[in-house]
Amino acid sequence: MTKPTHLKVALVQQSNTDNAQDNMAKSIAGIRDAASQGAKLIVLQELHRSLYFCQTEDVDVFDLAETIPGPSTDTLGALAKELNVVIVSSLFEKRATGLYHNTAVVLETDGSIAGKYRKMHIPDDPGFYEKFYFTPGDLGFEPIQTSVGKLGVLVCWDQWFPEAARLMAMAGAEILIYPTAIGWDPRDEKDEQTRQKDAWVISQRAHAVANGVPVISCNRVGHESDPSGQSEGIQFWGNSFIAGPQGEILAEANNSDEQLLVVELDQARSENIRRIWPYLRDRRIDHYQDLTKIYRD
């Protein structure tokens, strides 16, 4: 499958409510806007249909989950076909009763499902109780082949792990994509909030540099309350961005507003960067065996 040399990509940074229909309508509006500006690859944020429900542990939340294929992939597949675009969506997947995943799914321009990725790294922290809801992924780190190229789709907590980005690149990923839901505890000091956000940006820009590929990171924005009332909720920090193969910021959203970012990527430039900085050539795989250990005691 031949990829375009110049590819216009977009991401939709949005705030969410407890109304799934309204949230989906907002995502669809963003997709239509991006397509009207010429975008051929459009990325949505993590769990864009709902609030970030992992602030608490509540079995009733499993009612939000859906099958893949299912209602959302049907809707987004029809939209992808209508607009002739590739869409990266993030869904709460019901694989079976009692078995659920945090899953990114890619819709091709003909409306079909090009592939999916089940989140591999599952956090379990105050306000981010994802292990209660999601079984770790079992599809591995495999890029998804599409009409716009091979997409290395990962999800949120995966973005902190260089191994995940590297394995996607080693399998031929031409773009790394991170649907995300990350934010601040409103009680944190401003300096601490800045450090957290900067670390998040730096880590993903480093994946772009270390692998010589662009990165698209789409985060949600706005405050979402803690349903249990035990905390002050999460202030999702937005700051979605698109970086080039040297980690350069090509476009960046702010931390307070719903925004659409549209950028044209020069895929030939990634090829040139990887020739100049041949990290894959110089890897010493004969001395990396300890990376398969949890820790070197």
Among all residues, which ones are annotated catalytic?
46, 119, 156
Q: Are strands 241-243 and 215-219 parallel, antiparallel or unpaired?
A: antiparallel
Give the separation between CA 33 and CA 27, rounded to whole angstroms. Answer: 10
Beta bridge partners of 118: 103
H/E stretch holding 178 reads strand 175-180
As a whole number of angstroms, the longest Cα–Cα distance in the chain is: 56
Give the CA distances from residue 202 to residues 196, 243, 246, 249, in Å, rounded to whole numbers and listed in that order: 10, 11, 12, 11
CB of 14 closer than 8 Å to CB of 48: yes
Ranges of H-type helices in the chain: 20-36, 71-83, 162-170, 190-211, 267-276, 279-282
Residues 6+ apart with CB under 8 A from 11: 42, 43, 44, 45, 216, 217, 218, 240, 242, 260, 261
Give the separation between CA 4 and CA 2, rounded to whole angstroms. Answer: 7
Give the separation between CA 87 and CA 189, rounded to whole angstroms. Answer: 37
